[in-house]
C-alpha cells in the first residue's frame, strides 16, 4: 500500500488503497550496493512488490534488513513505462512487463540473477528528476555481466519510511491483541473447569454425607425390625412349649382315666364318651397348632430372605462409595497437576521475557553502532573524493609538487586502510546481527510450539475427568 503524501501516492482515496495487491510475497534477498563493479558490497534486504488492480501502476520497495530507515522505491506507471520501452527497447504490454518482473524477482531469489542498486550519474540526470539510483537485474557472466532490466529508483523520504514502519507496528499490535484474547479465553476456560471441579467436589461431599445418613437409618430400621421378629419368635416358642406341656399332662390324665374306665366300664361309659369328646377337641387344637407352626416357619423364611436382600443392598452401596472415593482422588490429582504445570509455565514465561528484553537491548546498541560507522564511512568517502580532485588538478605540475603528492598518497593509503578496517567491522556486525535475529526467531518459535503443546496437554487433561463422569 502506498503511503499518503508521497509523489506517487494513490491511497489518499480509500477505494485506491483497498485495490492494492501484492504480486509477490515479501522476500529476503541479497542486493549489491555498488558505485562501480569492482568494489561491491552485498546487503541483506527485504523486497516488497505491489500493483494496483484498475491502474497500470507497479511499485517495488527495497529496505535494508539491518536498518529499516534505509528504503528505496521504484514506481512504474503508464508514462514511465513508455519511457522505459523507448530507452530499453521493451516490446511487451504493461501486464507482460509485470509478469516478467515477477519472473526475474523469482530468479533473483533462486540465485540465477542478482539485484544491483547503482548510483545514478549526477551529471547526466536533469534537475527535474528525483531518481538517484538504478535498480538493475543482472546476470553474472565470466566476461561481461548482462543487465536484463534497469529501473529508476529513489531514496524514500522520511514520512514514507515512517508510514511503512507504522503499518508494520500496527500489524504486530493486531497479532499481539489476538494472542492476548486467546490467552484470556483459555484462562476463562481454565477458571470454568476449576469452578466445575469445585462444584463436583461439593456434590460428592453432599452425596457421601447423604449416603452415610441413609445407611445409618436403614441399619437402625432393620435392626429394630429384626429385634421385633426375634421377640415374636420367642413368644411363639413359649406358647408352643406351654401348649405341648399342657397336652402331655392331658394325655397322661386321659390314660389314667382309660385305665380306670377299663376297670369300671359300666360305671364310666358316660365318662368315656366325655373323654372321647375331649380327645376330639384336643386333636382339633393340635391341628390348629400345626397350621400355626407352618405359618411361623414361612414367616421365618421370609425374614431370612429380607435379611439377605438388605445385605446385598449394603454391599452395593459400599461398592458405590469406593468408586466415588476413587473418582474424587483422581479429580484432586488432576487439579494438583494442572496447578503445578500452570505455575511452571508462568515461571518459564517470565524468564523468557527477561531474556528477550536483554537481547532486544543488545540489538538496539548494535544498530546504533552500525549507523555511526556508516556516517564515518560517508564522511571519509567524501574526503577521498576531494583528495582525488586535488590530485587530478595538480597532475600538470607533478614534477614541481612530487613531495606534496607523496604526502597526499601516504594520507590516502592511511585513509583507505581505515576504510577497510571500518568495512570489516561493519561486515562482522552485519553477519552477527542476522544470526542473532535468526536465533531470536527460532527461540520465539520454539517457545510458541512448547507453550501451545503444554496448553493442548492441559486441555486434554482437563477434558479427561468429564469423560469419566459421563461413564459413571
Per residue, the 3-state secondary structure of 198-267, as one string, reads: HHHHHHHHHHHHHHHHHHHHHHHHHHHHHHHHHHHHHHHHHHHHHHHHHHHHHHHHHHHHHHHHHHCCCC
427: pLDDT strictly greater than 50: yes
Q: In this predicted structure, what is the pLDDT of residue 388?
A: 73
Average confidence score pLDDT of the chain: 79
Cα-Cα-Cα-Cα dihedral sign, residues 102, 103, 104, 108: positive
Q: In this predicted structure, what is the pLDDT of residue 126?
A: 45
Q: What is the pLDDT of residues 174-231, one digit of tens each?
A: 989 999 999 999 999 999 999 998 999 898 889 989 998 998 898 888 888 888 888 8
Q: Whole-angstrom Cα distance, residue 412 to residue 387?
A: 8
Q: What is the pLDDT of residues 36-55, one digit of tens each?
A: 444 457 888 888 888 887 77
pTM: 0.38
**3-state SS class at 71:** strand
Q: In this predicted structure, what is the pLDDT of residue 179?
A: 92
In the numeric block, the cell 576504510 is attached to: 419
Question: pLDDT tier at 469 (50, 70, 90 boundaries)?
Answer: very low
DSSP single-letter state for residue 367: H
Higher per-residue confidence, 45 vs 439? 45
Q: In this predicted structure, what is the pLDDT of residue 301?
A: 80
Q: In this predicted structure, what is the pLDDT of residue 127?
A: 43
Q: Which domains, from first to last, does the chain contain?
A: 20-156 (2.170.210.20)
Q: Are strands 146-155 and 58-64 parallel, antiparallel or unpaired?
A: unpaired
Q: Whole-angstrom Cα distance, residue 77 to residue 88?
A: 16
Q: Are 429 and 370 in contact (CB under 8 A)?
A: yes
In the numeric block, the cell 496437554 is attached to: 457
Amino acid at each position: 500500500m502506498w503511503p499518503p503524501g508521497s509523489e506517487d501516492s494513490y491511497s489518499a482515496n480509500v477505494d485506491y488503497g483497498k485495490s492494492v495487491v501484492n504480486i509477490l510475497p515479501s522476500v529476503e534477498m541479497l542486493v549489491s550496493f555498488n558505485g562501480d563493479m569492482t568494489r561491491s558490497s552485498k546487503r541483506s534486504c527485504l523486497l516488497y512488490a505491489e500493483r494496483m488492480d484498475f491502474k497500470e501502476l507497479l511499485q517495488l520497495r527495497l529496505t535494508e534488513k539491518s536498518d529499516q530507515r534505509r528504503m528505496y522505491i521504484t514506481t512504474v506507471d503508464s508514462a514511465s513505462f513508455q519511457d522505459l520501452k523507448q530507452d530499453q527497447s521493451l516490446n511487451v504490454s504493461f501486464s507482460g512487463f509485470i509478469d516478467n518482473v515477477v519472473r526475474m524477482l523469482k530468479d533473483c531469489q533462486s540465485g540465477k540473477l542478482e539485484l544491483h542498486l547503482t548510483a545514478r550519474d549526477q551529471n547526466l540526470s536533469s534537475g527535474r528528476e528525483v531518481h538517484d539510483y538504478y535498480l538493475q537485474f543482472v546476470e553474472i557472466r565470466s566476461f561481461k555481466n548482462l543487465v536484463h532490466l534497469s529501473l529508476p529508483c529513489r531514496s524514500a523520504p522520511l514520512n514514507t519510511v515512517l508510514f511503512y514502519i507504522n503499518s508494520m507496528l500496527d500489524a504486530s499490535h493486531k497479532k499481539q491483541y489476538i494472542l492476548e484474547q486467546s490467552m484470556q479465553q483459555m484462562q476463562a476456560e481454565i477458571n470454568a473447569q476449576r469452578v466445575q471441579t469445585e462444584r463436583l467436589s461439593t456434590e460428592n461431599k453432599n452425596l457421601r454425607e447423604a449416603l452415610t445418613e441413609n445407611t445409618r437409618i436403614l441399619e437402625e430400621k432393620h435392626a429394630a425390625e429384626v429385634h421385633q421378629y426375634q421377640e415374636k419368635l420367642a413368644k411363639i416358642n413359649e406358647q408352643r412349649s406351654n401348649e405341648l406341656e399342657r397336652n402331655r399332662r392331658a394325655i397322661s390324665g386321659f390314660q389314667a382315666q382309660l385305665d380306670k374306665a377299663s376297670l369300671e366300664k359300666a360305671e364310666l361309659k358316660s365318662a368315656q364318651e366325655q373323654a372321647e369328646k375331649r380327645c376330639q377337641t384336643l386333636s382339633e387344637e393340635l391341628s390348629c397348632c400345626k397350621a400355626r407352626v407352618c405359618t411361623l416357619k414361612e414367616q421365618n423364611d421370609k425374614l431370612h430372605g429380607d435379611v439377605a436382600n438388605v445385605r446385598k443392598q449394603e454391599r452395593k452401596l459400599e461398592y458405590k462409595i469406593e468408586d466415588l472415593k476413587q473418582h474424587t482422588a483422581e479429580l484432586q490429582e488432576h487439579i494438583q497437576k494442572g496447578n503445578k504445570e500452570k505455575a511452571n509455565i508462568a515461571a518459564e514465561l517470565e524468564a523468557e521475557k527477561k531474556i528477550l528484553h536483554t537481547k532486544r537491548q543488545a540489538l538496539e546498541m548494535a544498530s546504533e553502532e552500525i549507523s555511526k560507522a556508516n556516517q564515518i564511512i560517508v564522511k571519509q568517502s567524501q574526503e577521498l573524493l576531494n583528495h582525488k580532485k586535488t590530485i587530478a588538478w595538480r597532475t600538470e605540475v607533478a614534477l614541481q609538487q612530487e613531495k606534496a603528492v607523496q604526502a597526499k598518497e601516504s594520507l590516502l593509503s592511511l585513509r583507505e586502510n581505515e576504510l577497510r578496517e571500518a568495512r570489516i567491522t561493519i561486515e562482522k556486525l552485519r553477519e552477527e546481527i542476522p544470526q542473532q535475529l535468526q536465533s531470536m526467531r527460532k527461540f520465539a518459535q520454539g517457545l510458541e510450539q512448547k507453550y501451545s503443546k503444554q496448553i493442548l496437554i492441559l486441555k486434554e487433561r482437563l477434558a479427561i475427568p468429564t469423560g469419566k463422569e459421563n461413564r459413571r
